[in-house]
Every structure is written in C-alpha cells, then in structure tokens.
Chain A
Amino acid sequence: GQSLEQPSEVTAVEGAIVQINCTYQTSGFYGLSWYQQHDGGAPTFLSYNGLDGLEETGRFSSFLSRSDSYGYLLLQELQMKDSASYFCAVRDRTDSWGKLQFGAGTQVVVTP
C-alpha cells in the first residue's frame, strides 16, 4: 500500500517563501508529483520528480530525496493567487504511469 503525509495548512504573507513537505511510504516508488487546486477548480499539474534533486519551474521548485522518502514543494515570492490546495502524489513502480495516489493536500493561505 501507499501513504503520504503533508501538513494540512500553511499561512504566509505575500512575498514570502513557503515549503510544503511530503513524506511517503510505498511498496515501490517511481516518482513524486505536485498538483495545485484552487477552490472549485480542477487539480493542475505543477511538477514531477523522478530522480533525486531539485526541479525549478519559475517561482515553484520541487525536491526529492528517494533515500529519505521525502519531497517538498517550494513556493517563492508568494502571490495572492497562490492561495490554493497543494497535493503531493506518488506513482508506485508496480502501477500504471498514470495511477497516482494523492496526499490529503495542504491548504496554503496567502495574506496581504
């Protein structure tokens, strides 16, 4: 089976940096993905880490340490529009490429 743990909520001010941690337990592991979901909207893909290290996409970066079964999403220069839920998701090596197990999500609240 699989389990993922991430904080339920993080609050920060505009311009700040937020790090959302995700720890996982899987019988196998193929990669860690991050998704963003605004209230009432659909989850949208942010990033994917298949190998250890940092992936940077604009203001967002994602990190993976396979040996620690740990990853994080880093949101920099926070903007009000970044207020949303952020989900980590893992793909088990034994599963299809697309079969993702999602964490419970972290609600990020950005204040002025």
Chain B
Amino acid sequence: DAGVIQSPRHEVTEMGQEVTLRCKPISGHNSLFWYRQTMMRGLELLIYFNNNVPIDDSGMPEDRFSAKMPNASFSTLKIQPSEPRDSAVYFCASNVEAASGGELFFGEGSRLTVL
C-alpha cells in the first residue's frame, strides 16, 4: 500500500517567492496533519483537517501560510511570500480519526530552503 505521498521532496527558492507543498494522504484516512520540523522548535503542528474540514489552524505561524484540502485525497500548504525563517522540513501525516493507538502515518517530508 502506498503511504503518505508528499511533493516536492526538496525545494530551494528565493525570499519572496510563493511555495506550494502537496500531500496525498493514505486512502481511507480521514484526518490530515501538516507539521513543521526545525532544530530550534522541533516538530510543530501547523494545521489539521478532519473529513477535509480545517479543525485547528492555531499552529499556522502567520497569514503568509495557508492550507487547503479540496478533497479527501489531496492537500496543499502554501507560503506566500516565503522568508528565510520558513526554511524547515514540512511533514504531512494522516490517520483514521476514530482509530485508537495514537498512530500517525508521516510522509517523507518536503525540505524547504528559502534563500
């Protein structure tokens, strides 16, 4: 079975440019999460969706960040305009909302470098 699929795996861009990260969750999973990982702040939850609806976006750093989930098999995280401090690894994860066990399935991440 395919896991969570993220693209691009690596992105290098210049400050001020728009960045779009993409995620395809595992089929059948109804919750999707965007995390950001940096050395300084560790793994931070940015936003999560349940049944395609944003439930909690309190972790989104500022208005430059936005996320959408137009359908059950696709989500995007957009940064516009990007800044050097946005450099991080962005992980998408999914699971089944009602399942017990605390297991999140993570994608391989998108490593973003903003110059």
Contacts and interface: CB of A to CB of B under 8 A. Distances in A.
A109 interface: no
Contacts of B43: 43, 87, 102, 105
Nearest to A101: B45
A98 interface: yes
Contact of B95 (A50, A98, A104): A98
A98 B104 CA distance: 7
A41 to B, nearest CB: 7
A9 to B, nearest CB: 13
B91 A48 contact: no
Contacts of A99: 33, 45, 48, 56
A33 interface: yes
Contacts, number: 65
Interface centre among A87, A89, A98 (most CB of B within 10 A): A98
A96 interface: yes
Contacts of B100: 48, 50, 97
Interface centre among B99, B101, B107 (most CB of A within 10 A): B101
Given A96-B48, A97-B97, A42 B91 contact: yes
Interface residues of B, number: 25
Contact of B42 (A50, A95, A97, A104): A104
Contact of B97 (A35, A96, A102): A96
Contacts of B55: 96
B48 to A, nearest CB: 6
A102 B42 CA distance: 8
A43 B106 contact: yes
B108 A97 contact: no
Interface of A: 31-33, 35, 41-45, 48, 50, 87, 89, 91, 95-105
Interface of B: 31, 33, 42-43, 45, 48, 50, 55-56, 91, 93, 95, 97-109
20 contacts: A31-B102, A33-B103, A35-B104, A41-B108, A42-B91, A42-B106, A42-B107, A43-B43, A43-B104, A44-B106, A48-B101, A50-B100, A96-B97, A97-B98, A98-B97, A100-B45, A100-B102, A101-B45, A102-B43, A105-B43
